[in-house]
């Protein structure tokens, strides 16, 4: 199978991390995998050299703002020259390019993955364009039940056109992590972009409440973003700057997780965050807001404590609950078991391959939605 993974740009977000994980897993199974970025291959979660060593083809179009017919034409030409069978688009930003290129080049299958509910919050014209492109998409995948349900409701998609495939992670860097040795401290930690949707502000305020009665506690934050200076000022204003460590960005997430006792997620909106699955694979108990697919994962695994989003007091109470003598080690073990059963890169890759194969098989036995005159591609004039 020849799969083109299409995304706006390769950065450090969850969608990009999921795409990278899936691309490498598909390639390891012997499939031809191509990653095309409409814009640029920037701060990728996987170095360019790693992709190239694995045999994953990379191409960045460096598109500027606004619709680009030349980019559409380039993608179509690339699909024809490489014999692409499946275009897998990520988010609403690129789906119309995926559908347009498939129509022009005769690619039989287009699949779109929606990575979070917040991705559906768009201007009316963007929503209309995305909905129209989804009508010509073989399947729209949600990374959890809640995202899939939201896509059907907000975009008016039939249930038969949507599907749920959970995110998966490479577990090898996390399974060897053991509970941190007691040293008189208890370390909460989080990993993610320092952006509004992650709501680190609530986490810091909740931690301040915990720290007042448990001054041995620490909070470590892995990640970078536009809010770092503001968040650092907040810790100073709350008088906890010596107990909060901003670690900046690092690709060595395993080393970070090995140094904490409990993972905390304070997001306002999520799909199924890769950072959560990595923390679970590391055997860590989790304190998190009940958003997106997080709720179903935590309840099924019984590996942590849930609280409403944007509720500082409830988040602080959940963090209190995680302190010793809580059953954190047992909950962490249950989370690791759940990841190995349901959320690995192998499980995710198998699910997408099954979907791609079913869609290709359907094209062989039914009339393609493409116009007949476009069935083998078109010649450019």
State the chain's mean pLDDT as an integer: 93
In 10 A of CB 124, how many CB atoms?
7
Six-digit token string for 358: 């079913």
* Cα dist from 247 to 20, 235, 288, 295, whole Å: 24, 14, 20, 27
Looking at residue 116, the DSSP 8-state letter turns out to be B
Share of the chain above pLDDT 70, in %: 96
Domain identity same for 206 and 150: no
Domain identity same for 130 and 226: no
| Tens digit of each residue's pLDDT (9 = 90 or more) over 107-132 | 999 999 999 988 888 889 999 999 99
Domain identity same for 213 and 67: no
- The C-alpha torsion from 148 through 150 and 154 to 160, rounded to 10°, is 30
| Tens digit of each residue's pLDDT (9 = 90 or more) over 158-196 | 999 999 999 999 999 999 999 999 899 999 999 999 999
Residue 380 covered by a domain: no
Residue 178 covered by a domain: no
Residue 379 covered by a domain: no
Residue by residue, DSSP assigns 145-162 as HHHHHHHHHHHT--GGGE
CB 271 within 8 A of CB 115: yes
Residue 333 covered by a domain: yes
Q: Considering the entire predicted model, what is its pTM? A: 0.90
pLDDT of res. 380 = 33
Would you tell me the crossing angle of helices 124-135 and 95-105 to the nearest 10 degrees? 30
3-state secondary structure 293-318: CHHHHHHHHCCEEEECCCCHHHHHHH
Domain identity same for 238 and 299: yes
pLDDT of res. 365 = 67
Domain identity same for 329 and 349: no
Domain identity same for 161 and 18: yes
Share of the chain above pLDDT 90, in %: 86
Residue 181 covered by a domain: no
> Average pLDDT of 199-219?
98
Number of domains in the chain: 2
| Tens digit of each residue's pLDDT (9 = 90 or more) over 226-235 | 999 999 999 9
62: CATH = 3.40.50.2000
**Full residue range of the structural domain in which residue 336 is found:** 186-342
């Amino acid at each position: 199978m020849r799969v083109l993974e299409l995304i706006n740009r390769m950065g450090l977000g969850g969608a990009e991390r999921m795409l990278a994980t899936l691309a490498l897993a598909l390639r390891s199974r012997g499939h031809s995998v191509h990653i095309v970025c409409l814009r640029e291959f920037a701060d990728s979660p996987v170095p360019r050299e790693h992709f190239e060593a694995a045999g994953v083809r990379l191409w960045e179009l460096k598109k500027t703002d606004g619709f680009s017919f030349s980019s559409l034409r380039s993608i179509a030409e690339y699909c024809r020259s490489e014999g692409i069978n499946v275009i897998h688009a990520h988010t609403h930003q690129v789906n119309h390019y995926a559908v347009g290129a498939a129509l022009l080049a005769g690619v039989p299958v287009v699949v779109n993955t929606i990575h979070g509910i917040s991705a559906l919050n768009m201007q009316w014209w963007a929503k209309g364009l995305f909905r129209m492109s989804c009508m010509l998409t073989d399947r729209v995948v949600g990374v959890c039940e809640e995202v899939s349900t939201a896509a059907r409701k907000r975009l008016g998609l039939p249930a038969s056109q949507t599907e749920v495939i959970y995110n998966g992670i490479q577990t090898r860097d996390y399974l060897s992590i053991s509970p941190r040795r007691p040293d008189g401290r208890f370390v909460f930690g989080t990993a993610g972009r320092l952006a509004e949707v992650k709501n680190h502000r609530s986490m810091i305020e909740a931690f301040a409440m915990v720290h007042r009665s448990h001054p041995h506690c620490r909070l470590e934050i892995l990640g970078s973003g536009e809010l770092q200076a503001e968040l650092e000022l907040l810790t100073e204003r709350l008088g906890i700057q010596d107990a909060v460590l901003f670690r900046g960005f690092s690709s060595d997430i395993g080393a970070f997780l090995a140094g904490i006792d409990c993972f905390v997620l304070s997001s306002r909106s999520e799909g199924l965050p890769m950072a959560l699955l990595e923390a679970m694979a590391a055997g860590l108990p989790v304190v998190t807001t009940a958003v997106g697919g997080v709720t179903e994962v935590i309840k099924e695994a019984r590996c942590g404590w849930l609280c409403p989003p944007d509720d500082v007091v409830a988040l602080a109470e959940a963090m209190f609950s995680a302190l010793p003598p809580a059953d954190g080690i047992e909950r962490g073990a249950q989370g690791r078991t759940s990841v190995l059963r349901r959320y690995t890169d192998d499980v995710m890759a198998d699910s997408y391959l099954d979907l791609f194969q079913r869609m290709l098989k359907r094209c062989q036995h039914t009339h393609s939605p493409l116009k007949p005159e476009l069935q083998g591609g078109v010649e450019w004039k």
